[in-house]
Amino acid sequence: MTDTETLAEPAGAQYRLFFDAVPCPAWMFADRTLRIVAANRAAVQAYGFSRDDFLAMTVEQLSPEADRAALARQLRRVKTGAAGGQQRHRLKDGAVVDVLLRWVRAAPARGSTGTGLAWAETLRADAAGAPGDGPRDAFDCAPVPLLGVSRSGQILEVNQAAGVLIGEPATILVGGPLARIVDDADGAAAVLNLEGAGCWSGLLRLRRADGSQIEVDVRAAVHRSSGLRILAMQDISERMRTEGELRRSNDRYRRLTDHARNLREEERARLSRDIHDRLGQSLSGLKMDLAWLLALCDRFEPTSARSAIAVMMDRIDTTIGIVRRIAGDLRPGVLDRLGLQAAIEWRAAEFERRAGVRCRVSTTGPMPELDHLQSTELFRIFEEILTNVSRHAQATLVRITMKGERGKFAVHVYDNGRGIPLDAVDSEHSLGLIGMRERATLLGGTLIVSRGRRRGTLVVVRIPLKPRLVGQAPDTSPDRSPAPD
């Protein structure tokens, strides 16, 4: 009996489409000669060889010449069953790639035909290809979850990977209806209605044994003679979750960008009004005083001139104060000259004077030395916290504590106001909180907002003293600060 005749045995015909549906490179080879007698389309696409090229090769010739002796020894050791390991394969263009190879040797009772399956992260092959008969071992050991379903929707075949995916052994799944595990009536109907050479691909929702649901990418085809519907599945639940989170993150960033742009425009408008109304008026008055002084000098009235000069000096002092306040609002000079602690104390005093809310600032432990970026971002977070207190808290007291911890620095801000609503803590519409968290993340740290047991709000921002790159894992050590009362 020839190798080709061995593959034509009817006993393997029902697994023919399973071999075709495997999206990784797969071959079948003769047990004695190791000659390749079938290759699926995924192997053709991934390796670059044509099907005729493969049929003229042995499985040893897939490896570079230097690796063939070791490969032959490995194959001889595997009498029946499955084995595998790391191998090197050559592509048609001469490139050599690492592959994770799985060998399956069928029992010799039916011609000793074996099947080899290979898959690797370095190769991308997702097409199913031409016909080829595969033994039961290839079906069971395929790394892709596979199901065989009858025209009426009864599950007739389940491989090991599908059992793991669904969370139930094949002995329980076989004989049951497809509807028991597929939570998508339209998709299941599309699979069952396949006829002839038809195929279907799409997404289905599967119910696992533990009650959870997963999204799977399915490719289905129908076996012409038996009518068996062959389903090759890939779990994409994690990818779907990641894509969903990415979309939500993009939406948050868009809203945050719009919010930041609106805040910038509001700030520019306020500064424009301050410059026009206060600084402009002061300078206009100063110009009028100078004109008056010039007229007095023409009339030789020194007493009146001295009085005018004193008024001018007062206006100049007022103007200087306005300029300093505007410059301080843009960036306080005390932050650059004296550091974060002095800047927070200054801003707290300004807030107390303007808003009428008492502020108490304290430190615990020695203040560490922070770099320019750390000081700036922490100060801006503190300013945003005070803005929220002024707008929403209805507080009469704000306590600010700066703490030097092991390799970390933390700022705790507690107000005795009405307390933040619980649904606002993680709301995607709380753009101020999102902005503060993004600033903390930029420093590799965290920002935690919590409501007091009775009232009040506590905000804790903690950063590592050693700067981290954006995107590195943030500090996730537990917050040991007491909950506010």
* pLDDT for residue 72 is more than 60: yes
Domain boundaries, the chain: 251-330, 334-485
Quick: pLDDT tens for 239-287.
888 888 888 877 777 777 767 766 765 776 676 666 666 766 777 777 7
Quick: pLDDT tens for 152-161.
788 888 888 8
pLDDT band at 219 (very low <50, low <70, confident <90, very high): confident
pLDDT over 70, % of the chain: 70
| pLDDT for position 329 | 67
The residue-averaged pLDDT of 412-439 equals 81
pLDDT band at 119 (very low <50, low <70, confident <90, very high): very low
| pLDDT for position 459 | 93
| pLDDT for position 53 | 92
The residue-averaged pLDDT of 203-225 equals 84
| pLDDT for position 78 | 61
| pLDDT for position 359 | 94
Range scoring the smallest mean pLDDT among 47-56, 253-262, 313-322, 412-421? 253-262
The residue-averaged pLDDT of 334-338 equals 78
Please tell me the CATH code under which domain 334-485 is placed.
3.30.565.10
Q: What does the mean pLDDT of the chain come to?
A: 75
SS (H, E, C) the chain: CCHHHHHCCHHHHHHHHHHHHCCCCEEEEECCCCEEEEECHHHHHHHCCCHHHHHCCEHHHHCCHHHHHHHHHHHHHCCCEEEEEEEEEECCCCCEEEEEEEEEECCHHHCCEEEEEEECCCCCCCCCCCCCCCCHHHHHHCCCCEEEECCCCEEEEECHHHHHHHCCCHHHHCCCEHHHCECCHHHHHHHHCCCCCCEEEEEEEEECCCCCEEEEEEEEEECCCCCCEEEEEEECHHHHHHHHHHHHHHHHHHHHHHHHHHHHHHHHHHHHHHHHHHHHHHHHHHHHHHHHHHHHHHHCCHHHHHHHHHHHHHHHHHHHHHHHHHHHHHCCHHHHHHCHHHHHHHHHHHHHHHHCCEEEEEEECCCCCCCHHHHHHHHHHHHHHHHHHHHHHCCCEEEEEEEEECCEEEEEEEECCCCCCHHHHCCCCCHHHHHHHHHHHHCCCEEEEEECCCCCEEEEEEEECCCCCCCCCCCCCCCCCCCCC
Structure-model confidence comparison of residues 378 and 313, the more confident one: 378
Helix axes 280-299, 302-330, angle to 10 degrees: 160
* pLDDT for residue 54 is more than 50: yes
* pLDDT for residue 122 is more than 50: no
The residue-averaged pLDDT of 331-338 equals 74
Residue 443 Ramachandran class (φ > 0 left, ψ -120 to 50 alpha, else beta): alpha
Range scoring the smallest mean pLDDT among 9-13, 16-20, 201-205, 271-275? 9-13
* pLDDT for residue 352 is more than 90: yes
Quick: pLDDT tens for 361-402.
998 877 888 888 888 889 889 988 998 898 888 899 999 999
Quick: pLDDT tens for 75-117.
666 655 556 666 788 888 888 777 767 676 655 544 444 455 5
| pLDDT for position 382 | 92
| pLDDT for position 441 | 83
